[in-house]
Amino acid sequence: MNEAVVAAGVSKRYGETVALDGVDLSVADGEVFGLIGPNGAGKTTLVRALTGTTPVDGEITVRGAAPTAVDADRIGLLPQSFSPPARLTARELIDYYGGLYETARSTEEVLAAVGLTDAADSWYETLSGGQQRRVCVGIALVNDPDLLFLDEPTTGIDPAGRQSLWSLLEELADGGTTIVLTSHSMTEVQRLADRVGLLQDGRLVAVGTPTELIEAHGGDSRLVIDTDQPEAAVNALREADFAATASHTTVVVTGVSPVEIGDAAAALSTAGIDYGSLTWAEPSLEDVYLQLTGEQFAGGERLDTGGVPAGTTTEPNAVTPTAEPQEGAE
Amino acid sequence: MSRIRRIRAEATAAWHSFLRRRTAVFFTFFFPVLLVVIFGALVRTQPTAGGLFAEPPAYYIPGYLATVVLFTPLSRVGSEIARHRDDNRFEKLATTPLGRGEWLIAHTLVNVAIIGLASLLILGLVVALTGAVVPFTARLALLVPFVVCAVVLFCGFGAILGRLSSTQDGVIAASNTIAFPLLFLSDTFVPLALLPGWFAPLVELSPLTYFARGVRALTYEPSITEPYGVELGVVAALAVAFFVAGAYAIPRTD
């Protein structure tokens, strides 16, 4: 398979700050490659390097040419924090950016693809944040690119809009478009990406399919229990041979299979411990992210999962474990 | 044809964006009108007296035109570049076939259209409100290349200011700081005779001086026989130089 993007030893410094530190990367034709990493890890700088909008050290070829020499008609980009002219309508914006290319998809087709037909004649500044982002995605798609760079494409989009954009991107990928996307939504990356690269401190610390990364770094499945008696719950679970740890009002039990959830609930009930909910999940890309970046849950909250539950949540003392393995997980 | 298609797309977007910013439209046309009303109709010229505005009304036509030819491109192009940079639009445009020169051509065309309309308005107002007499000769048509070349020149200058200033406020401050001295010290409103002798060489350094003298040779009866070729040549040459420098200054990367 041909390589759409090849980067070797790519480095970039802003003064004393190292933005990219010897990144090696290849993206095959037709592949969807997801870039994840903490804020400041270098994701946007890497996208800029690959699109030729920032000079870097190292070697980069995009469709066989230097990023600044590649056929611009075949490339699409949605930059981070991009805003088009605010007082043009969605239709005018698609027309405008389409007019910059040799050939472009029809404006109505693009508007329909991003679900903005009804809002096509509204000024950009009057659209909701999610609609604005969809206009931006439409702008990135207008030339029907072979290679599409999307820097946080679904930021600010509501769950329904996000789902429709994911479907759109899946259609593009099915049609052979190569996509490089950055995201803070692990669910988004896990759903869309064929391979994922995790950047931290300017270095690509892991690359692989979501399944490979989860197997290598995701750890065990987990049962998260919400309770006001975390210490007592841990003791009760450990007595029942579960590996449990407490944090604030949460108890995490690792290595629990779905059929063992009932045993864990029974252990809590026997010990007279009340709990708010039981949530079971297989390891996900989010766990890989947390493992490799060393980041912790903030205030007991998990990272953004894109509005899609990672596993099964049960109501108090009514455990019905019907969890299905997640896409990409085994 | 692709180049024309790209320039048309960029210019159309810029034109609609301008027309829909009512404050910008208002001040683009209102500022020179205000100037004509204040100095031409209220203060009035006093040809027999000394001091400022001692020349006949038509003498000041180049000055009134200079207000839009100078201020509008400097502030509009400069601000547009700052706005594009703030919104990451150049990062997007850098990955499209649109070139920097094409971008500047498109925005210059929009400025030519806006300033052309404003210039017609000013000429009409000066004649109607101040009683200025403009010789209606064939050479009056040469106002068009003078205005177009000056707009190109100051669009290029505006692009350079936009590149050098980090914010829209910075662009406005810089353009005002540069434009005000140029406007009054370029043989426009203040005749050379009123300036100190040592300052005269500095007047020759202002691009606007050549615009003012050339326009005066086309619109002011006492100067109507004076040559204008050198002035037009200088303005045209500077327009090319500033356009190239301005196009090169437009950001494509961080």
Q: In chain A, which residue ranges form alpha helices assigned H by DSSP?
A: 43-50, 90-98, 107-113, 129-141, 159-174, 186-192, 210-217, 230-239, 261-270, 285-293
Instruction: Search chain B and give the residue with CA nearest A53.
Output: B253
Q: What is the signed CA dihedral for A137, B103, B79, B115, rounded to 10 degrees?
A: -130
- Pair A173, A243 in one domain: no
Task: Give me chain B's average pLDDT, please.
Answer: 90
Q: DSSP string of A100-126? A: TSSS---HHHHHHHTT-STTTTSBGGG
Q: Is residue A330 part of a domain?
A: no
pLDDT of A315 > 60? The answer is no
pLDDT in tens, A138-194: 999 999 999 999 999 988 788 888 888 899 899 999 999 999 999 999 999 999 999
Are A257 and A278 spatial neighbours (Cβ–Cβ below 8 Å)?
no
Contacts of residue A82, defined as CB under 8 A and 6 or more positions apart, other chains included, come to A136, B87, B88, B89, B91, B92
Report the gap between the CA of B84 and the closest CA in chain A (Å): 8
Nearest by Cα to A36 from A28, A26, A46 = A46
Instruction: Count CB neighbours of A324 within 10 A.
Output: 10
- All residues at 6 or more sequence positions from A141 whose CB lies less than 8 Å from its CB, including other chains: A76, A105, A110, A113, A114, A148, A168, A172
Q: Comparing C-alpha atoms, which of A203, A150, A225, A201 is closest to residue A180?
A: A150
Per-residue tokens: A112 = 């329909």
- A19 and A120 in a single domain? The answer is yes
Calpha distance B83→A85 (Å, rounded):
9
Residues A112 and A176 in one domain: yes
- Residue at A323 is within a domain: no
Chain A contact set for B95 (CB, 8 A): 51-53, 72, 75-77, 149
Q: How many domains does chain A have?
A: 2
User: Are residues A234 and A90 part of one domain?
Assistant: no
Q: Which of A174-178, A258-262, A314-318, B55-59 has the least mean pLDDT?
A: A314-318
| Same-domain check for residues A197 and A294 | no
Which of A5, A14, A53 would best serve as a mutation to test chain B binding (most B beta carbons within 10 A)?
A53
End-to-end CA distance of chain A: give it in Å, rounded.
27
What is the per-residue pLDDT for A296?
55
A282 in a domain, yes or no? yes
* pLDDT score recorded for residue B51: 61
Q: Which helix (H) or strand (E) holds B179?
A: helix B168-184
Q: pLDDT tens digit string along B5-49?
A: 999 999 999 999 999 988 888 888 888 888 888 877 777 666 665
For residue B91, which amino acid is it? E
Distance set, CA B85 to CA A85, A120, A145, A270, B164 (Å): 12, 26, 24, 64, 12
Structure ipTM: 0.89
Question: Quick check: A214 and A183 in contact, CB under 8 A?
Answer: no
3-state secondary structure of A273: coil
> Quick one: pLDDT at residue B46?
66
Single pTM value for the model:
0.84
CATH of the domain at A52: 3.40.50.300
**Which chain B residues are closer than 8 Å to A87 by Cβ?**
16-17, 20-21
pLDDT at A328: 33
The verdict on A227 and A204 lying in the same domain is no
Gap from B60 CA to chain A (nearest CA, Å): 37
Is residue A155 domain-shared with residue A235, that is, in the same domain? no
Task: Show the domain range for A185.
Answer: 3-208
Contact B17 A53 (CB under 8 A): no
